[in-house]
Amino acid sequence: MLDARLDLRRGSFHLAVEFAAGPGPLLVTGPNGAGKTTLLLAVLGALRPSAGRLVLGGDVLFDATSGRCLPVEERRVAYVPQDSGLFPHLSVRDNVGFGLSRLDKTARAARVEQALGQLGAAALAERLPSSLSGGERQRVALARAMAMEPHALLLDEPLAALDTPSRVRFRGFLAEHLRRLAVPALVVTHEAEDARALGGQMLVLEDGHVTERGPVDALRVAPASAFARAFWTNG
């Protein structure tokens, strides 16, 4: 469970959100500049809110009142940026093993094999990221995120960089794994098709504020804001 109440200013932009996310996908959408990426970075710990509180599975990640702010590396929040964020100088195996430095060598190797196997990427282990297709990169990035057994997952437009066929394929794949992982997963998306396929809960951000929230299916049937109506019509 992720409980967030965040207040954050960057220049003239003001993000003020409050939401709770259970296990499974929480889709975040909204116009450009609405604060979607800022929200992810605040949950990740890369940006420090000026007020609010962030609790993940009982751990207080941030609390403005007590001044507590866990650094990124202690939050156990996995982050997959837009272009998958694989380390270009490390093999797929070393990428997936990067977050497992606390395990001994054998346990690490086993966990890497397991994660790659689960995501159907075992055959890619020796490859360098530059030799992977867009879909393969995303699968490896997901394997790396899942191998660290995160308490929450942040995906910034995981489908945006893919061409249509691999996008359709990866959509179902992502939906299945997000459900299986069973931790809160914030997924930024711009596409109605992606939202429909991933399902779960949805949050519409406009100008730093939550304007709509609820199950994807409910929002689709009765979109309230102009942005939400356009979102579902164009997709």
Binding part of the chain for other proteins, among 17-25, 85-93, 119-127, 184-192 by CB under 8 A, reads 85-93
Q: How far is the CB of 161 from other proteins (least distance, A)?
A: 11
Output the smallest distance, CB 193 to other proteins, in A. Answer: 25
Site for other proteins in 128-167 (CB under 8 A): 129-130, 144, 148, 154
User: How far is residue 200's CA from residue 215's CA, in Å, rounded to a whole number?
Assistant: 6
Report the residue from 78, 116, 142, 186 that binds other proteins according to the rule CB under 8 A: 78
Q: How far is the CB of 212 from other proteins (least distance, A)?
A: 28
Measured from the CB atom, the residue of 27 and 147 that comes closer to other proteins is 147
- Give CA–CA dist 63/111, Å, rounded: 33
* Size of interface with other proteins, in residues (CB under 8 A): 30
Nearer to other proteins, 74 or 176 (CB): 74
In 3D space, the residue among 131, 193, 146 whose CA is nearest the CA of residue 168 turns out to be: 193
Nearer to other proteins, 98 or 232 (CB): 98
Sign of the torsion formed by the C-alpha atoms of 34, 52, 41 and 214: negative
Of 102 and 105, the one with the shorter C-beta distance to other proteins is 102
> Which amino acid makes up residue 75?
R
Q: Does residue number 11 form part of the binding site for other proteins (CB under 8 A)?
A: no
Shortest distance (Å) from residue 72 CB to other proteins = 4
**94 alpha-carbon distance from chain centroid:** 21
CA distance 222 to 217: 9
Residues of this chain that interact with other proteins (CB under 8 A) are: 41, 44, 46, 71-83, 85-89, 98-99, 101-102, 129-130, 144, 148, 154
